[in-house]
Structure formats: C-alpha cells, structure tokens
Amino acid sequence: MPDEEFDPDDNYTSDPERTEIDDDASAEALVWQLLLVISPGDEDAALQQFGAFQEALDGGDAEDIDVVWLLKDVIDWKSGFHIEESEPGALIDCLGELAARFNLRIDWGVEDPTDAAFLARVSPDALLETAHEQLRLDGYTLWTWETGTEARAGWMTLSSDDEAMRVIAPALGIEVRPAAA
C-alpha cells in the first residue's frame, strides 16, 4: 500500500485527483505550499517569504492567527497584491510587477494606463478581469481573496495549479476566486 503521508514539498503533483488536505498538515506546512504555488519556479522567493512569515510569527503558532493578513504583509508586491479600491494606478503597477516576474506584460487596452482620464473611468474589477484574461492566455491564473474591506488582494499562479489553490487556500481559511469571477 502506498504511503499517503502529507509531503509539504509535493505541490500536489503526485496525484492530480487528490482534492483533500491531510488533517495532520500544520498551518505552516500549508503556508509553505501556498507560497510555492504563488511563486512558480521560484523556490528561493517562496523560501525567503516563508522565512519572513516565520519571523513575523515571532515564535507564535500559525494555527492561532488569521494567516492571510500575515501573508499579505509578507508577499505584498512580491508574490501578491493588496491595493485600495481607490488606487487603480497602484493596482496597474502591482499587477504589472507580478506579471513581469514571469516575463509577461499586461495590455490594458490604452496607450498610457497611467493617464488620469483612464484611471478615473476604470474600475478595479475591470482591471482585474483584463489582467486575468490576458494571463490565462499565457498559462497563469490571477486570483483574488476576500478582504472584507474596499481593498483588492490576490496573487498569480500557474493555471496548472488551479486545483491546488482551490484546496490549499480554504484549508488556511482564505476565500479565493479567479479574478474574472
């Protein structure tokens, strides 16, 4: 009988049908998995952010905190974004930075996405949808998570990691959805 123990470095590649998290998986192991998924091909970045996460825990237990808010601070403008709804220019900049990590560029459909007239008429949801649609063409998914505020927050993954995201995020108490949803 095969060994079915949770492997934090597996990244859900051994069994594409696996859709459950091992109940024994710690919150820190799940955070590590999430960081690997939102840093595809860049384990060094995931490791650096995991170190920052552990440092921010300051000896505490990840089971006792709202993980997403600590993660937000660790990954912001590196592997994720958290931008106020009233700042579409910052959202464009941050999504551009995230896409550039994978040598991608987002076409916002205007000559100058920093133009004040464009920024005044575009909604954060429209920007997220545009970015999501373009990133899907290149094999990536732009995800957002529910902040409970007027801010927009999320991260990018490989589209092949969509199922892993749908498993890992809820196990951490993070309500995620594709940005175009």
pLDDT tens per residue across span 79-119: 999 999 999 999 999 999 999 999 999 999 999 999 999 99
pTM for the full predicted model: 0.85
For residue 24, the model assigns a pLDDT of 59
**What DSSP assignment string belongs to 53-72?**
HHHHHTT--GGGS-HHHHHH
What CA–CA distances, in Å, run from 102 to 33, 45, 48, 97, 108? 19, 13, 18, 9, 17
| Domain assignment present for 1 | no
pLDDT in tens, 131-165: 999 999 999 999 999 999 999 999 999 999 999 99
For residue 21, the model assigns a pLDDT of 58
Are residues 178 and 141 in contact, defined by beta-carbon separation less than 8 angstroms?
yes
Average pLDDT, the chain: 89
For residue 10, the model assigns a pLDDT of 52
Q: With a cut of 80, say whether residue 7 has pLDDT above it.
A: no
- pLDDT (mean) for 42-47: 97
Domain count of the chain? 1
| Domain assignment present for 18 | no
Residue numbers of the domain that contains 116: 27-178
| Domain assignment present for 95 | yes
**How many CB atoms are closer than 10 A to CB 138?**
14
| Domain assignment present for 14 | no
| Domain assignment present for 173 | yes
| Domain assignment present for 120 | yes
| Domain assignment present for 10 | no
| Domain assignment present for 22 | no
Q: Report which of 161, 154, 160 is spatially closest to residue 180, judged by C-alpha positions.
A: 154
